[in-house]
């Protein structure tokens, strides 16, 4: 009887894993069809205009289409190692370990919402650790503690642009640093959530130098979706997690997440406005905003 029970359990687990694989492959196929027949025709006129080669590459694409484009392109790459793994005989039994230890390599259709939220939490913890290291390197901790004690910041709503600007000018070591210098590049990239594993320094440098354009375009797109009232609860969680903000769980209300997303992206646009002709100033202020968010667990 014990053997029969064990075999029945193995059969149930195998059926469940096979179901996940079939569902994931089916989801990837649907994403591929949507990309091929809906998004590609949408992008072709932009290619003809040449806008996809410059800063305007995503200004004409809305938030949800942009997410679908980026996600599908990433899923194509993630499907390669998963396909190699699944080609091994009896590899289905190893899928729980693959799902647990390699969640970053799972296409969207293969992971549940809870798996995605768990991944967000791990990424947030890594960012907070790197934030602590970064503050120590540039002696920022005392300045930030003084700002917190003098202003009583407890939420993202309490942060203003003058606070960020004054924090930057009051710390000489930070304000005079070379952000794209070799000694700071990887630490800053980790703080911002960029992958530094096997990523050449020149790519990291490009990411950081492009921050004024990419972040302002992203924030402008999100604020437009907020105005149109088209963002779901899950969309808001994704937006907040990407920008190092506490995205919580179902205990957080929709309006609470919406107000956080709106305030954050308004701050980014304000930073952009005050540093229009100085990309380095934008980066300095943007990084300080990230540090405040991570330090205070906002």
- 98/124 same-domain check: no
Residue 109's SS3 state is helix
Q: What is the pLDDT of residue 186?
A: 85
The per-residue pLDDT for range 138-155, each reduced to its tens digit, is: 888 888 888 888 988 999
- 274/141 same-domain check: yes
Asked whether the beta carbons of 134 and 276 are under 8 A apart, the reply is: no
- Among candidate residues 111, 145, 174, the one where a domain is terminated: 111
- Domain count of the chain? 2
Domain that holds residue 70: 2-111
- 17/69 same-domain check: yes
- Among candidate residues 50, 76, 111, the one where a domain is terminated: 111
Helices (H) and strands (E) in the chain, counts: 14, 0
Phi, psi dihedrals of residue 8, rounded to the nearest 5°: -65, -40
Q: Is 257 exposed, middle or buried (0-12, 13-18, 19+ CB in 10 A)?
A: buried
Residue 58 pLDDT grade (very low, low, confident, very high; cuts 50, 70, 90):
low
Reply yes or no on whether the pLDDT at 233 is more than 50.
yes
User: Dihedral through CA 84, CA 85, CA 90, CA 95, nearest 10?
Assistant: -150
- 42/104 same-domain check: yes
Q: Is 294 exposed, middle or buried (0-12, 13-18, 19+ CB in 10 A)?
A: buried
Reply yes or no on whether the pLDDT at 13 is more than 70.
no
- 252/128 same-domain check: yes
Mean pLDDT, the chain, whole residue set: 83
Torsion sign over Cα 242, 41, 107, 23: positive
Asked whether the beta carbons of 109 and 23 are under 8 A apart, the reply is: yes
- 184/261 same-domain check: yes
* For range 70-89, the mean pLDDT: 84
- 19/106 same-domain check: yes
- 80/45 same-domain check: yes
* For range 59-82, the mean pLDDT: 84
- 95/123 same-domain check: no
Distance of CA 184 to the CA centre of its chain: 21
Torsion sign over Cα 86, 92, 94, 99: positive
Reply yes or no on whether the pLDDT at 7 is more than 90.
no
Phi, psi dihedrals of residue 252, rounded to the nearest 5°: -80, 135
Asked whether the beta carbons of 24 and 110 are under 8 A apart, the reply is: yes
Q: What is the pLDDT of residue 48?
A: 55
Nearest to 147 by CA among 132, 134, 165, 133: 165
Alpha-carbon span 82 to 79, nearest angstrom: 5
Alpha-carbon span 272 to 289, nearest angstrom: 12
């Amino acid at each position: 009887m014990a053997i029969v029970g064990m075999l029945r359990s193995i059969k149930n687990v195998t059926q469940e894993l096979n179901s996940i694989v079939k569902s994931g492959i089916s989801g990837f196929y649907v994403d591929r069809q949507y990309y091929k027949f809906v998004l590609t025709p949408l992008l072709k006129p932009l290619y003809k205009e040449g806008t996809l080669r410059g800063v305007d590459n995503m200004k004409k694409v809305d938030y949800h289409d942009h997410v679908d484009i980026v996600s599908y392109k990433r899923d194509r790459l993630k499907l390669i190692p998963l396909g190699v793994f699944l080609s091994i005989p009896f590899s289905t039994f190893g899928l729980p370990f693959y799902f647990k230890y390699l969640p970053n390599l799972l296409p969207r259709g293969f992971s549940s919402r809870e798996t995605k939220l768990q991944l967000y939490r791990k990424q947030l913890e890594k960012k907070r650790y790197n934030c602590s290291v970064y503050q120590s390197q540039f002696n920022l901790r005392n300045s930030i503690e003084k700002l917190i004690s003098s202003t009583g910041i407890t939420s993202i709503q309490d942060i203003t642009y003058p606070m960020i600007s004054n924090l930057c000018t009051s710390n000489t070591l930070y304000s005079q640093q070379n952000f794209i210098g070799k000694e700071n590049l990887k630490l800053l990239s980790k703080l911002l959530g960029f992958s530094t594993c096997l990523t050449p320094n020149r790519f990291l440098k490009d990411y950081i130098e492009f921050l004024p354009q990419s972040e302002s375009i992203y924030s402008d797109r999100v604020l437009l979706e907020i105005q149109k009232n088209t963002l779901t609860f899950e969309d808001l969680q994704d937006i907040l997690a990407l920008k190092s903000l506490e995205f919580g769980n179902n205990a957080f209300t929709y309006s609470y997440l919406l107000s956080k997303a709106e305030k954050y992206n308004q701050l980014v646009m304000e930073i952009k406005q005050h540093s229009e002709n100085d990309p380095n100033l934008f980066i300095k202020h943007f990084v300080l905003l990230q540090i405040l968010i991570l330090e205070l667990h906002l």
